[in-house]
Structure 1
Amino acid sequence: MFFLSPLHAATKRFSIQTVCKGLGSILSLTGTAKMSTVASDSKFRLPTNVKPTHYDLIVQTDLDQLKFSGTVTVNLDVKEETSKIVMNCTRLKLGQATVQSTAFKSEQLSSESSFDEKTKQVSFIFPTAFPAGSQAKLTIPFSAPLTGSMTGYYRSSFEEDGKTKYYTLTQFEATYARSAFPCWDEPALKATYAVTMVSKANTVNISNMTATSEKVFSPNDHADFKTLFDDINEEWKITKFETTPLMSSYLLAYANGPFEYLESSAKMPLSGRTIPLRIYATKDLIHQAQFALDVKAKVLPMYEQVFQVEYPLPKLDSLVANDFDAGAMENWGLITGRTSALLLDPKKADIAAKKRVVVVQSHEVAHMWFGNITTMEWWDYLYLNEGFATLMGEVIIQGTAFPEFKPNSEFITAHLHRALTLDSKLSSHPIEVGCPDAESIGQIFDALSYSKAASVLRMLSAHVGQEKFLKGVSLYLKAHLYGNSVTNDLWAGISESTGVDIIKFMDNWVKKIGFPVVTVTETSEGIKVRQDRFLETGLAEGKDNETIWSIPLSILTVDANGKPTVDETAVLDTREKTFAVDTSKPFKLNAGTNGVYRVLYEDTRLSKIATEVAKPDSVFGVEDRMGLIFDALALSKAALLPLSSALNLVNALRNEQEYLVWDGISTNLASTSAVWWEDDGISSLLNEFRVSLFSPFVKKLGYEYSASDTPDISQLRTCAIDQCLSAKDQSVIEELKGHFAKYMKTGDDSVIPADLQNAIYEAAVAYGGREEFNAVKAIYEKGATPTSRIAAMRAMCQSKDQTILDEASQIALKGARDQDVNYFFVGLSKNKLTKRTVTKLFENNYDELSERFGSTFTLRSIVQLTYSGLSTQKDIDEMNVFFKDKDTSKYHMGLAQSLDSIRAKIAYIKHSSSDVRQWLEDWKQVTARL
């Protein structure tokens, strides 16, 4: 093998030859500059004439000047004769590209270069072609400023001693490795990476692998580095890391800054190795990182045991980031994530914060296998990463590690409901969806790739049995270690473990848009069931209703002894089918609510179900009761069931004691109330109904939290208080205001239970004045925990004073960290006074927001938060006028989904206003007589 150190002959290569950037022209001092303005979809994929096998990457980070530079040397296998090398690059200044080849004695310099803005590709042409079968080493210097973009290699800031300081980290998924160094930035083009970091001597360097050496610069020891970086001296140090296994470019990671760390370890069950674990953060945050470290230590060995595949790396670190676009990122060996995802103060943590840290750490550790060892072949198959990490990390492993959180039941609200809500829109997309370009890739990180994918996998696991399912998953991983995969590779593994034709069973669930509603009609022999595609506005018709899914019906019936049994063999794989069921006894489809579909019963059957669920010893378990609630309200919205019938079901559950059932009820009633937000009559009646359901729990459980409370009791108390506040229960409002008044008087935050931060801050601002707003604003600015600051951001937008709301809006636009702007839009979209005017805030600042967030997930989120809560045709008309001349390519899915949401609300208001008003008035009269 031809080998040449990347340090060799790099002198003076930083004369700028090519600029790879988001906008602008190409500068060239050594060749002819060219720039393509139009590219076909096929051009978004790199040519296959050469293949990278190894990267030697040297990165110098200058935190004082806020810039980085370096050199990348890539070992290439030449597959086809070529004189042209094409790779990904954007936002970088490149020096002279050179190549050494096994086919030539001397080094070649590129004679021509060009950059394609649309495809983010840079091309180098060399004087002599490289023959097929040869190897080459391509070396390219690069440099760029360190920006706060939250993508690529970027800077994050923190405050220390009243001064703003910086550190750096990477975020390469999905297509941003190319903005840190020129590379082959496609998941199937796996290679190994040897990273060397050059940084100020008083900082810390971390990367995917363990450091093999670290020395302060010495001219005698490191003369080669002097030729690379003119300003290097004894203030700098050089850290070299072990070479990674084969992996995709988006999983590479490195960071530099004044980090501190906590450490632990995990004993692995297969290898017997002890894996060192660390979590890094800045000095002001590290004391809140222990819980995340403990979770990682607990779940890592579980994954190795379940998958029967050894964890291959020598360590697993985490890094807490003050500025982070997503929640967290599964970089192999170096998980990164935002403060709210990884930090926890045990003395001030609410249950929701604990669950979030557990979920995030477990999800990202799952990726060490799903995504990192075995990676999707292209972004079309993103769900193979994210759906599995969601199911494994948030249900299966969490259920063993933290059973007190009841993750399988909570999945129904957290993921199944979320998935079906989005997938019931005409603007939905299949789980497996084509991604021809970067804009498309960025938009599929949504509830379908995560929650629906996890839901169909959970359904499959329940249908074939979890043990066989996990055995098939293990076979799949072992068959594709360090490789790439597509959907049928997974189905092959599970087919082998189960003996079932999984491709036939699952194909339409993954490749077709939407999901079915199963209509149940009772006959003299049993039940007739029919499937149609479900939409939030009703049954799909024509070409939108062509898919036939294989639906595991999981029919729950009651035997002669009154005990429930479930028929897991019943599958509806045609449009209609009949099944023998004793309809004189209780029965239910989709037992356990594992299926990804809705069930529509006849009114008389739903009334019988309502009677059954009200019994203390109901045959319908927690998951069944949750599923019934979500189905009934969704079917009502689609005009397939009267809303009054759904409310009868909710009303029948007044004696329910399970928190997760009440969580489902609260979620649905809050959504229903949001539809009629401009109808004062219906809103007022709905609020009275909500208070009647939840205030008994407030009176029973009170406002004090105890260490002896179970998670269910704590969460039920919080849920009840939140709902009563939302429904304007005056007694709850006064109690919450009283807590905040004590805090303002004493400065003692112990009077604000962590679980009630959201409610107390909101009540203080919504029903207070300038003094309360300023106090909550101070918490936002200097709060002790991420959760307290997030609660403050949302609450700041709940005022009824327009001057204060204008101030909160300006903080959102001018004062908030990029990662936090969403929280302000959440608050503004919730407040009745700003629910519609927030559109003007967005539209008046569109250019700034588009420029600021164009490379992140945030822009799509802001669009959806701004518009999806609206509910009139006038809103749609005004949206169409505003967006008609805008480039919506980076968020067109979110925009289309928002428009569908508005249309669905318009239809809901039209077909159900009379029904819901009459039911609520009748309920109120009956209640008054009791």
Structure 2
Amino acid sequence: MSENTAPRQDYRLPTDVIPTHYDLKVWTDLENLKFDGVVDIYLKVNKEASKIVLNSLELDLDEVSLHSGAPEAIQTPSSVDFDPVQQRVIFTFANALPADSTARLSISFKADITGHMMGYYKSTGGADGKTIYALTQFQPTAARRAFPCWDEPAAKATFAVTMISRKNTVNLNNMPVDTEGSYDPVTVEQGSWLERKFASLADASEWKITRFLTTPPMSTYLIAYANGPFEFVEGSYTSPLSGKVRRLRFYVTADCIPHAQFALTTMEKVMPVYEKMFDLEYPLPKLDLLAASDFDLGGMENWGLIVGRTQYLLHDPNSNDIQNEQSVASMVGHEVAHMWFGDITTMEWWDNLYLNEGFATLVSSLSTYCIATIQFNFSARSLDAKLSSHPIEVECPDASKILQIFDALSYAKAGSVLRMLSSYVGEELFLKGVSLYLKKHLYKNTVTKDLWEGIQSATGLDIPKMMDNWIKQMGYPVITVTEKEGGIHVRQDRFLETGPADPKDNETIWAIPLSLSTGSEDGKNKDVLLDEREKFIPLDTSKPFKLNSDTTGFYAVKYSAERLAKLGKQATSPNSPFSLSDRIGLVWDAFALTKAGYTPLSSALGLVDSFNGETEYFVWNTIATNLSAIASTWYEHPRVLGLLNSFQKDLFVPVVKRLGFEPSPSDTPNEKQLRKEAIEQAAGAGDTGTIEELKSRFAHFLETGDESKIPTDIARVTYRIAVQEGGKREWERVKALAVQPKTPAQGMAAMLALGATQDLTLAEATFQFMAGEARDQDVLFIARGLQNNFKTRKFLARRTKEEFDRLEKKYSGTFSMVRWIERSFQLLSSEEDYQETVAFFKDRDTSQYDMTLKQTLDNIRARAAWIKRSTEELVQWLEQRRRIQA
């Protein structure tokens, strides 16, 4: 633990007695879906103690004994008390353990293997969907569901895991296998738990014992093990630092083997990149991936055994879907980055979650797809613009709060502000500082101060002075640019989606690296640190200029309408001084400002109109995302939707006609992605030609079973249009694909499409499918389809309210509970919706999702305010444009 750790709060376990090593034995019975085991926890006694307090949840604890002293004395507890609220067990012993001594606590335990997707749970996969296996998901606080432990990040210890399972299965753990074989009574301690277990069996020969090597010191949430009929593809990489060759494997069920190679190859590529980037060798003897058919997160960075959903780790080598390829690469890059950020060095408590997630978000995008760092910037800003936002570093007093901070702020905002810092100090010095930080805190726990010390050592700059407000305060600034003689006047204020902030909400002054692009001949930017409310910057405004060069800063920039129009023309000119990242940032800022009422909506729409000659996918994607947000907000306003659809068709139908529907071997990655985006947008805007083409392709598949006319990259929009325009027959065919897809990507496309129906009877069938047959991990994809469908959005909100008690019971304690709130209510758009949602939750215990609920309510109210403020202007601009085009 770091020396500068804050005083412990009462929600933290006492440190009178702490663990140093766990000897964990787990018996897995997949046929009867039960597990049991024994854990021997070696203890260091810091202060005399007669009580030992640790975490345990939903485990049946049996034999408990405390071994201490020399000669060894054995005690059983005089009392055992459970605290279900804090998820603890308290053992009280008659004889206190003396300070500065050691002891061993032995506890046997058992529980059912359920499908809860937390703790040690079951998943089903395989070609027939009936192959059962068991795996762990412990982050953030679920190791206590699998074995009694000190389930806090700072309570690092070493782990020696032994797994007992049937011989026809494979056992996996963070570490490589040490020994594996049949039960041999000669090698087992007489009277031990293991001997008694085997003595109770009718036939011991069908079981095997797998012992794994001992781990380095690590946190409980990173422990992982799994048991099942796994197969693997294998590769390796050579360490650029030591020359050692390390084994890499990707474990899957047999049916997934053909789709496993891409993720493995990505891992082979990024491992040496990270070692060189951090100047620190990966310390474990191996690294495995495991794809799970049932998983509550996207991926999990268990040290040495990364686990992720099949949808996010598998890629069909015959697919032309470049976005799925990018998604898999980003997931692998993110989780592998955690082997350093989170695993070697771990945050001291969950309030510093960003030290794991922000870094993994940043470096994975640097090692795979750099443009993703800009997209992260804006996904975080949309959440951070709310009064109900939270600082990156936020207090986490209980498990419910911890679950809720796995959001865009801990991931994307943290990654974005770290990228901003890297850009300001220079990537080389930034990474040098990060390396110093990692090396100083190997196998330890850290807080924000430790990171700043490392980067400060490398740069010589006062990093806390610059960065603390970005980490410890919520929100972000908008820079207002006023052109004056001889330069520009800049002023910073807090940006809020509800419009200019009241003085009480506008007290933070950020240290903002403005990074002015001036189109100078040497290509260098003018770097200005704005660490006061306002400043004058000398500048020749007759030449092109833009703040936030390459969109590396986490802030919005508000120009005059005239300057924004000039920027639009300059950004799209053949010899533009501005980069692709600059163009993306201009569009995002324009829409963010207009949504919040800082600028007229017409200025953002006019900027988009000036980009009609754009050829880059990422700019078109930014335009499409923001126009779709307008349509989604005005979804109950037919006149606005009709005009907006005409505008979108004008923009995207020509691109569809130029690129067509069929992929070509000569397509560039940009063309592949742009074709997909244009088809999706044209179809969404109701273009008859695009819709008829997609319907025809699906009809051929429906009649013949031949999928060759549906390229994999447009399967998602093809299925959606089939369900939207069709009836029960089309819905049932798409549902069949969702239940038993040929590839995970196909299954994802089908699940998202099911909610597109315009028939409320089929919408109810979709909801019932979610409630029953669908996998728990998949229901939110199906719900997203209902949420994105304007016809069924309020239907979803109503049905969620009607089924809320059941949903709350089913998903309690999982990440899915928080996501249900977002899916069901976040995109409602009227004041009436706001009041009804407030009334529904008024008398409920919302502690599991209170942060998310407040953000959702803020979102509804902001959308309603935007409609009230901008409807007339939006209609006028769209009608005027249509008249001009005519």
- Give the 5 Å matches for 1:670-749: 670-749=628-707
Deviations along 1:780-833, one digit per CA (max 9) or x if unpaired, are: 122111111111111111111222211111101111100000011100001111
Q: Which moved more, 1:735-744 or 1:605-614?
A: 605-614
In the alignment, the residues of structure 1 paired with residue 74 and residue 470 of structure 2 have an alpha-carbon distance, to the nearest angstrom, of 53
Is the contact made by 2:241 and 2:276 (CA closer than 8 Å) also made in structure 1?
yes
Q: Does 1:208 align with 2:208?
A: no
Letter of the structure 2 residue corresponding to residue 389 of structure 1: A
Deviation at 1:348?
A: 2.6
Q: Percent identity?
A: 51
Question: In the TM superposition, what is the alpha-carbon distance from 1:409 to its structure 2 partner?
Answer: 2.4
Tell me the residue number matched to 1:10. none
Alpha-carbon distance change, 41 to 188 in structure 1, aligned in 2, over 3 angstroms: closer
Cα deviation for residue 855 of structure 1 reads 1.5
Q: Secondary structure at the match of 1:555?
A: coil
Matching residue of 2:4:
none
Give the equivalent residue in structure 2 for 1:16.
none
User: Matched residues in 1 for 2:118 and 2:828: separation?
Assistant: 31
Distance apart, 1:220 and its partner CA = 4.4
Counterpart-to-counterpart distance in 2, 1:475 and 1:105? 44
Amino acid at match of 2:459: T
Aligned-residue offset at 1:862 = 1.2
Q: Find the residue that maps to 1:386 and give its secondary structure.
A: helix
Structure 1 residue matching 2:249: 3-state secondary structure: strand
Q: In the alignment, which residue of structure 2 is the partner of 1:48?
A: 15
Q: How far apart are the structure 1 equivalents of 2:316 and 2:864?
A: 44
Q: CA deviation at 1:227?
A: 1.6
Give the drift of 1:504: 0.5
**Given the superposition, is the C-alpha separation of residues 231 and 295 from structure 1 closer, same or farther in structure 2, using an over 3 Å criterion?**
farther
Following the alignment from structure 2 to structure 1, what is the Cα–Cα distance between the partners of residues 426 and 257?
Answer: 42
2:314 to 307, 332, 343: 343
The C-alpha deviation readout for 1:390-427, integer Å capped at 9, x for no partner, is: 10112x222xxxxxxxx2223222x1110000000111
1:440 equivalent in alignment to 2:401: yes
2:760–2:792 contact (8 Å) kept in structure 1: no
Q: How does 1:904-915 map to 2 (within 5 A)?
A: 904-915=862-873
For 1:807, which of 765, 768, 780 is the aligned residue? Answer: 765
User: For residues 804-883 of structure 1, what are the structure 2 equivalents within 5 Å?
Assistant: 804-883=762-841
Q: Which of these residues, 756, 760, 767, is aligned with residue 798 of structure 1?
A: 756
Alignment equivalent of 2:842, drawn from 875, 884, 887: 884
Residue identity matched to 1:789: G
Counterpart in the other structure of 1:79: 46
1:152 aligned partner, one-letter code: G
Q: TM-score if structure 2 supplies the norm length?
A: 0.97
CA contact (8 A) 2:19 2:157 kept: yes
What amino acid is the match of 1:217?
Answer: Y
Name the structure 2 match of 1:238: 209
Task: Name the structure 2 match of 1:472.
Answer: 433
Asked if residue 189 in structure 1 is aligned to residue 155 in structure 2, the reply is yes
Letter of the structure 1 residue corresponding to residue 525 of structure 2: V
CA contact (8 A) 2:126 2:254 kept: no
Q: Secondary structure at the match of 1:546?
A: coil
Find the partner of 1:567 among 523, 526, 532: 526
The one-character-per-residue Cα deviations of 1:598-633 (angstroms, maximum 9, x if unpaired) are: 000112211221221231222121111100000000
Q: What's the counterpart of residue 384 of structure 1?
A: 355
Distance 2:129 2:425 in 1: 58
Instruction: Report the residue type matching 2:430 in the other structure.
Output: F
Alignment correspondent of 1:352: 323
Deviations 1:170-189 (A, max 9, x none): 00110011110000011011
Cα shift readout 1:855-874 (whole Å, capped 9, x = no counterpart): 21111111111111111111
Q: Equivalents in 2 of 1:750, 1:458: separation in Å?
A: 43
Aligned equivalents of 1:802, 1:639: Cα separation in 2: 36
8 Å CA contact 2:57, 2:88 repeated in 1: yes
Q: Deviations over 1:49-101 (max 9, x none)?
A: 01100000000000011010000001101000111100011010001311111
Q: Structure 2 matches for 1:196-275, cutoff 5 A?
A: 196-222=162-188, 224=192, 225-228=194-197, 230-232=199-201, 233-275=204-246
Corresponding residue of 2:372:
410
Which residue number corresponds to residue 279 of structure 1? Answer: 250
Checking the alignment, whether the CA contact within 8 Å between 1:472 and 1:497 is kept in structure 2 is yes
Asked whether 1:617 is paired with 2:588, we answer no
The runs of at least 4 consecutive aligned structure 1 residues that moved more than 6 Å come to none
Give how far 1:221 is off. Answer: 4.5
Deviation, structure 1 residue 265: 0.8
Letter in 2 for 1:397: S
Q: Match of 1:32?
A: none
Partner of residue 87 from structure 2, selected from 114, 120, 128 = 120
Aligned partner letter, 2:264: L
Residues 590-601 of structure 1 aligned to structure 2 (within 5 Å): 590-601=548-559
Report if the CA contact (8 A) 1:41-1:437 is conserved. Answer: no
Provide structure 2 residue ranges, at least 5 long, that are not aligned to the other structure. Answer: 1-6
Q: Is the 8 A contact 1:103 1:131 kept in 2?
A: no
Matched with 1:397 is 367
Output the amino acid matched with 2:216.
Answer: P
- The structure 2 residue matched to 1:319, chosen from 290, 296, 300, is 290
CA distance in 1: counterparts of 2:396 and 2:503, whole angstroms: 27
| Amino acid corresponding to residue 113 of structure 1 in structure 2 | V
Pairwise CA RMSD of aligned residues?
A: 1.4
Query: What is the total number of aligned residue pairs between the two structures?
Result: 875
The farther-off stretch of 52-61 and 861-870 is 861-870
> In the TM superposition, what is the alpha-carbon distance from 1:754 to its structure 2 partner?
0.6
CA contact (8 A) 2:518 2:543 kept: yes
**Aligned partners of 1:794 and 1:326: how far apart in 2?**
18
Please state how far the C-alpha of 1:163 moved relative to its aligned partner.
7.2
CA distance in 2, matches of 1:558, 1:226: 77
Q: Secondary structure in 2 aligned to 1:285?
A: helix
User: Aligned with 1:538: secondary structure?
Assistant: coil
The answer to whether the aligner puts 1:632 opposite 2:590 as a matched pair is yes
CA drift of 1:159 comes to 4.8
Q: Provide closer, same or farther for how the CA distance between residues 613 and 345 of structure 1 changes in structure 2, counting only shifts above 3 A.
A: same
State the shift of 1:542 in Å: 2.0
Amino acid at match of 1:728: G
Among candidates 492, 502, 505, match of residue 531 of structure 1: 492
Q: Distance in 2 between matches of 1:668 and 1:97?
A: 59
Q: Does 1:544 align with 2:501?
A: no
Say if 1:799 and 1:805, in contact at 8 Å, map to a contact too: yes
Q: For residue 370 of structure 2, give the secondary structure of its aligned residue in structure 1.
A: helix
Match of 1:29 in 2: none
**Matched letter for residue 206 of structure 1:** L
Q: 1:522 aligns with which of 476, 483, 486?
A: 483
Question: Which residue of the partner structure matches residue 302 of structure 1?
Answer: 273
1:322: how far off?
0.6
Distance (Å, rounded) in 2 between the aligned partners of 1:699 and 1:41: 63
Structure 2 residue identity aligned to 1:735: E
Moved more, 202-211 or 736-745: 736-745
Q: How many angstroms apart in 1 are the aligned matches of 2:608 and 2:408?
A: 26
Amino acid at match of 2:507: E
The 3-state SS of whatever aligns with 1:357 is helix
Separation (CA, whole Å) in 2 of partners of 1:705 and 1:354: 16
Task: Kindly provide the CA deviation profile for residues 558-594 of structure 1, in whole angstroms up to 9, marking residues without a partner as x.
Answer: 34x6x754112x0110001100011111111001100
- Gaps in structure 1 of 5+ consecutive residues: 1-39, 399-406
* Partner AA of 1:388 in structure 2: F
Counterpart residue identity of residue 60, structure 2: K
TM-superposed CA distance for 1:292, in Å, is 0.7
What is residue 710 of structure 2 aligned with on the other side? 752
Measure the CA separation in 2 of the matches of 1:409 and 1:239.
44
Contact 1:613 1:652 in 2 (8 A): no
